[in-house]
Amino acid sequence: MILGICGSGRKEGNTGALIEAVLAAAGGPAEMVWLIDANIGYCTGCMRCAFEGGCWQQDGMSALYPRLIDAEAIVYGSPCYYGNVSGLFKSFMDRSIALGYMGIGKEAEIAMHGRKPLAGKPAAIVGAVAGHGIDAVLKVMEDYAGYAEMNIVGKLGAAAGMDDVRDKPDIMAAARDLGVKLARALKQ
Protein backbone atom coordinates (compact mmCIF):
# COMPACT_ATOMS: atom_id res chain seq x y z
CA MET A 1 0.00 0.00 0.00
CA ILE A 2 1.19 3.50 -0.87
CA LEU A 3 0.46 6.13 1.74
CA GLY A 4 -0.16 9.76 0.84
CA ILE A 5 0.43 12.33 3.60
CA CYS A 6 -1.22 15.67 2.83
CA GLY A 7 -0.26 18.69 4.92
CA SER A 8 -2.86 21.01 3.40
CA GLY A 9 -5.72 22.41 5.42
CA ARG A 10 -7.88 22.45 2.27
CA LYS A 11 -9.07 19.14 0.85
CA GLU A 12 -10.03 20.78 -2.44
CA GLY A 13 -6.58 22.39 -2.74
CA ASN A 14 -3.66 21.89 -5.06
CA THR A 15 -1.46 19.84 -2.74
CA GLY A 16 -4.08 17.14 -2.29
CA ALA A 17 -4.74 17.08 -6.04
CA LEU A 18 -1.04 16.51 -6.72
CA ILE A 19 -0.77 13.69 -4.18
CA GLU A 20 -3.92 12.04 -5.53
CA ALA A 21 -2.52 12.21 -9.09
CA VAL A 22 0.74 10.59 -7.97
CA LEU A 23 -1.13 7.86 -6.09
CA ALA A 24 -3.44 7.14 -9.05
CA ALA A 25 -0.55 6.92 -11.52
CA ALA A 26 1.41 4.63 -9.21
CA GLY A 27 -1.48 2.16 -9.31
CA GLY A 28 -2.31 -0.44 -6.72
CA PRO A 29 -3.70 0.08 -3.26
CA ALA A 30 -3.26 3.57 -1.87
CA GLU A 31 -4.51 5.59 1.05
CA MET A 32 -4.58 9.33 1.62
CA VAL A 33 -4.06 10.78 5.09
CA TRP A 34 -5.32 14.33 5.50
CA LEU A 35 -3.36 15.79 8.40
CA ILE A 36 -6.15 18.35 8.89
CA ASP A 37 -8.33 15.43 10.08
CA ALA A 38 -5.64 13.56 12.02
CA ASN A 39 -5.70 15.63 15.22
CA ILE A 40 -1.93 15.63 15.76
CA GLY A 41 -0.59 17.55 18.73
CA TYR A 42 2.73 19.33 18.84
CA CYS A 43 5.95 17.59 19.82
CA THR A 44 6.92 18.79 23.29
CA GLY A 45 10.58 17.85 22.88
CA CYS A 46 10.46 15.82 26.08
CA MET A 47 12.26 12.82 24.51
CA ARG A 48 10.15 10.39 26.51
CA CYS A 49 9.84 8.42 23.27
CA ALA A 50 13.56 7.59 23.44
CA PHE A 51 13.13 6.00 26.87
CA GLU A 52 9.58 4.65 26.62
CA GLY A 53 9.61 3.27 23.06
CA GLY A 54 6.93 5.60 21.72
CA CYS A 55 5.23 8.93 22.15
CA TRP A 56 3.24 9.47 25.32
CA GLN A 57 0.64 11.56 23.47
CA GLN A 58 -2.36 9.50 22.47
CA ASP A 59 -3.78 11.33 19.46
CA GLY A 60 -4.00 10.98 15.71
CA MET A 61 -0.28 10.35 15.36
CA SER A 62 -0.67 7.15 17.39
CA ALA A 63 -2.68 5.64 14.52
CA LEU A 64 -0.24 6.97 11.91
CA TYR A 65 2.89 5.30 13.28
CA PRO A 66 1.92 1.75 12.23
CA ARG A 67 0.57 2.98 8.88
CA LEU A 68 3.89 4.66 8.11
CA ILE A 69 5.81 1.54 9.09
CA ASP A 70 3.52 -0.76 7.07
CA ALA A 71 3.43 1.41 3.93
CA GLU A 72 5.41 0.16 0.96
CA ALA A 73 5.98 3.75 -0.24
CA ILE A 74 5.00 7.24 0.91
CA VAL A 75 4.04 10.42 -0.95
CA TYR A 76 4.63 13.52 1.16
CA GLY A 77 2.97 16.81 0.28
CA SER A 78 2.66 20.27 1.75
CA PRO A 79 1.63 23.68 0.52
CA CYS A 80 4.07 26.53 0.89
CA TYR A 81 3.27 28.84 3.81
CA TYR A 82 5.73 31.71 4.19
CA GLY A 83 8.47 29.76 2.48
CA ASN A 84 8.04 26.63 4.56
CA VAL A 85 5.85 23.56 5.04
CA SER A 86 2.47 24.01 6.68
CA GLY A 87 2.16 23.83 10.45
CA LEU A 88 0.23 20.58 10.02
CA PHE A 89 3.13 19.02 8.15
CA LYS A 90 5.71 20.39 10.57
CA SER A 91 3.89 18.85 13.54
CA PHE A 92 3.72 15.55 11.64
CA MET A 93 7.47 15.67 10.99
CA ASP A 94 8.31 16.58 14.58
CA ARG A 95 6.13 13.84 16.01
CA SER A 96 7.74 11.30 13.65
CA ILE A 97 10.77 11.26 15.94
CA ALA A 98 9.06 8.58 18.01
CA LEU A 99 9.33 6.17 15.05
CA GLY A 100 13.04 5.88 15.78
CA TYR A 101 12.47 4.51 19.25
CA MET A 102 9.99 1.72 18.51
CA GLY A 103 12.72 -0.89 18.05
CA ILE A 104 12.07 -1.31 14.31
CA GLY A 105 14.48 -0.88 11.41
CA LYS A 106 18.18 -0.40 10.95
CA GLU A 107 20.15 1.26 13.71
CA ALA A 108 21.05 4.91 13.25
CA GLU A 109 24.72 5.85 13.09
CA ILE A 110 24.33 7.86 16.30
CA ALA A 111 22.90 5.67 19.06
CA MET A 112 20.73 8.44 20.52
CA HIS A 113 18.92 8.70 17.15
CA GLY A 114 17.47 5.22 17.60
CA ARG A 115 16.44 3.36 14.46
CA LYS A 116 15.32 4.09 10.90
CA PRO A 117 12.11 2.10 10.26
CA LEU A 118 11.41 3.90 6.95
CA ALA A 119 14.91 3.36 5.51
CA GLY A 120 14.90 2.19 1.91
CA LYS A 121 11.20 2.83 1.29
CA PRO A 122 10.46 4.79 -1.88
CA ALA A 123 9.23 8.32 -1.30
CA ALA A 124 7.85 11.02 -3.58
CA ILE A 125 7.61 14.67 -2.56
CA VAL A 126 5.15 17.27 -3.83
CA GLY A 127 4.39 20.84 -2.93
CA ALA A 128 2.18 23.63 -4.18
CA VAL A 129 2.41 27.40 -4.00
CA ALA A 130 0.68 30.38 -5.55
CA GLY A 131 3.85 32.41 -6.07
CA HIS A 132 7.31 31.64 -4.76
CA GLY A 133 9.06 29.63 -2.04
CA ILE A 134 8.34 26.11 -3.23
CA ASP A 135 12.02 25.12 -3.45
CA ALA A 136 12.41 25.67 0.29
CA VAL A 137 9.32 23.55 1.00
CA LEU A 138 10.59 20.70 -1.15
CA LYS A 139 13.98 20.91 0.57
CA VAL A 140 12.39 20.61 4.02
CA MET A 141 10.47 17.49 2.99
CA GLU A 142 13.48 16.10 1.15
CA ASP A 143 15.65 16.57 4.25
CA TYR A 144 12.96 14.89 6.37
CA ALA A 145 12.76 11.84 4.07
CA GLY A 146 16.54 11.84 3.70
CA TYR A 147 17.03 11.76 7.46
CA ALA A 148 14.80 8.68 7.51
CA GLU A 149 17.06 7.25 4.75
CA MET A 150 14.14 6.79 2.38
CA ASN A 151 14.71 6.32 -1.35
CA ILE A 152 13.52 9.64 -2.78
CA VAL A 153 12.38 8.85 -6.34
CA GLY A 154 11.48 12.40 -7.26
CA LYS A 155 9.85 15.66 -6.31
CA LEU A 156 7.43 18.12 -7.86
CA GLY A 157 6.95 21.74 -6.96
CA ALA A 158 3.93 23.37 -8.56
CA ALA A 159 3.65 27.15 -8.75
CA ALA A 160 0.10 27.55 -10.03
CA GLY A 161 -0.76 31.10 -9.05
CA MET A 162 -4.33 31.27 -7.80
CA ASP A 163 -5.33 28.60 -10.33
CA ASP A 164 -6.30 24.98 -9.78
CA VAL A 165 -3.53 22.54 -10.72
CA ARG A 166 -6.19 20.26 -12.20
CA ASP A 167 -6.49 22.88 -14.96
CA LYS A 168 -2.74 22.80 -15.66
CA PRO A 169 -1.99 19.85 -17.99
CA ASP A 170 1.79 20.20 -17.65
CA ILE A 171 1.67 20.07 -13.84
CA MET A 172 -0.73 17.13 -13.79
CA ALA A 173 1.43 15.27 -16.33
CA ALA A 174 4.46 15.81 -14.08
CA ALA A 175 2.49 14.43 -11.11
CA ARG A 176 1.51 11.34 -13.11
CA ASP A 177 5.14 10.88 -14.22
CA LEU A 178 6.19 10.98 -10.58
CA GLY A 179 3.61 8.29 -9.80
CA VAL A 180 5.03 6.09 -12.57
CA LYS A 181 8.54 6.54 -11.10
CA LEU A 182 7.20 5.54 -7.70
CA ALA A 183 5.58 2.41 -9.16
CA ARG A 184 8.87 1.49 -10.86
CA ALA A 185 10.77 1.91 -7.59
CA LEU A 186 8.31 -0.43 -5.88
CA LYS A 187 8.95 -3.15 -8.46
CA GLN A 188 12.74 -3.06 -7.98
CATH of domain 2-187: 3.40.50.360
- What does the pLDDT average to over 123-147? 95
Per the prediction, the chain carries an average pLDDT of: 95
Query: Could you tell me the residue ranges of all domains in the chain?
Result: 2-187
Residue 163: pLDDT over 90: no
Q: What is the distance of C-alpha 184 from the center of its chain?
A: 19
pLDDT digits (tens, 9 = 90+) for 50-64: 999 999 999 999 999
Q: Which residues contact 58 (CB under 8 A, 6 or more apart)?
A: none
Task: Report the length, in residues, of the chain.
Answer: 188
Residue 180 has a pLDDT of: 97
Task: Write down the pTM of the prediction.
Answer: 0.95
Centre a 10 Å sphere on the Cβ of residue 143 and count the other Cβ atoms it contains. Answer: 11
pLDDT score for 109: 87
Cα–Cα distances in Å, from 105 out to 46, 118, 124, 148, 172? Answer: 23, 7, 20, 10, 35
CA distance 83 to 139: 11
Pairing of strands 122-129, 73-79: parallel
